[in-house]
Chains A and B, each alone.
Chain A
């Protein structure tokens, strides 16, 4: 087996849990879209060409007949503006890809495969085989399940009754935790002397405050997004939360200098950044 085949298989393996979790989400989207009055062909076209779950759900929410093209485009822009930051963060890690491969692979960059590419880049250089194995598998499965949902439509019953509407949130919480873990495990921490569940909770909380800018980011982003959602309305919450979370990470990394001296030495992205800032 060539190593590129192995890389592609690893891409599929890594995205498989997200692809499975996306099954009810895709089916739910297809069912909602056809209930709104879109045809199965239109659902298929949107899933293939847009391939962005959040923007697609929001579009169905505001869809009218005739379609308000400018409103739909603007809503899509607001929700997907996060891709600009995501792409800028990922771009330096795809140096091994040819220009056309970059242009194509960034065209199928969704939250899930982007998050997993970022995670992969922490330990391995990204190859075209990995990126396209992962991306193609995720794209094809999104087409299949949104179309199935559109065809099945009202046969699915109430998705809330079986928790399908929460699968999306649960999937994203899992991805956030994998980033959080990658930050805390990358720093040298002495073994915790406490034992038992209470000790582990204390350790978790201590790791949160001492070690991880991720926790601060998650709290700031979540609160800002929830407030923006309540007081301004969708789709502004995405931009508000992202900006607040990133600003909090920047403030945390600076403010931590003041009281970091008493803590154990740290390694990892934040500490590296701190060292760079100090030099």
Chain B
């Protein structure tokens, strides 16, 4: 159980930066006057952020991942969350096996 001082410094820096990004929303939210087009854009922040995070593994890895993501998306509209994850994991394993 060792913690290197330089690694500790890096982890603390990462934690401080992360907390700053998380807490800053509390201070800017009440200054935003959201109407019309801006509100419509704001409503779509969740989907925009989540899509951006997974885009590399879904669109820039290989066809098995892209097809598995499409199957997962179809499953996601019919099945609960955990079953959706199951469909994604199983289909990527099968499709990777097919692709060799």
Contact = CB atoms under 8 A, between A and B. Distances in A.
Contacts of A161: 93
B98 to A, nearest CB: 13
B42 to A, nearest CB: 6
A82 B49 contact: yes
B51 A45 contact: no
A172 B55 CA distance: 10
Contacts of A52: 18
Interface in B46-68: 46-60, 65, 68
Contacts, number: 336
Nearest to B52: A241
A27 to B, nearest CB: 14
B11 A46 contact: yes
A88 B32 contact: yes
A102 interface: yes
B43 A67 contact: no
Interface in A224-266: 224-226, 229-230, 234, 237-242, 244-247, 249-250, 252-254
B54 A168 contact: yes
A176 B47 contact: yes
Interface string A42-85: 10011001111011000100010111111011001100111111
Nearest to A170: B88
A103 B25 CA distance: 10
Contacts of A49: 11-12, 14-15
Nearest to A225: B55
Given A50-B11, A106-B22, A170-B85, A221 B17 contact: no
Q: Counting chain B CB atoms within 10 Å of each CB, which of A51, A89, A165 scores highest?
A: A89
Contacts of B53: 54, 82, 111, 172, 225, 238, 241
A69 B29 contact: no
A183 B46 CA distance: 12
Contacts of A90: 25
Given A226-B60, A254-B37, A242 B52 contact: yes
A63 to B, nearest CB: 8
Given A166-B68, A173-B88, A175-B81, A107 B55 contact: no
B100 interface: no
Contacts of A134: none
Given A172-B54, A246-B41, A179 B47 contact: yes
A223 interface: yes
B13 A69 contact: yes
Contacts of B72: 169-170, 173-174
9 nearest A-B pairs in the assembled complex, by CB-CB distance:
A87-B25, A241-B52, A170-B88, A245-B48, A277-B36, A177-B76, A253-B40, A91-B29, A225-B55
Interface of B: 1-4, 6-19, 21-26, 28-30, 32, 35-60, 65, 68-69, 72-73, 76-77, 80-82, 84-85, 87-90, 92-93, 96
15 contacts: A45-B11, A81-B21, A87-B23, A163-B90, A163-B93, A170-B68, A170-B69, A171-B81, A174-B72, A174-B81, A175-B50, A177-B73, A237-B56, A238-B52, A273-B40
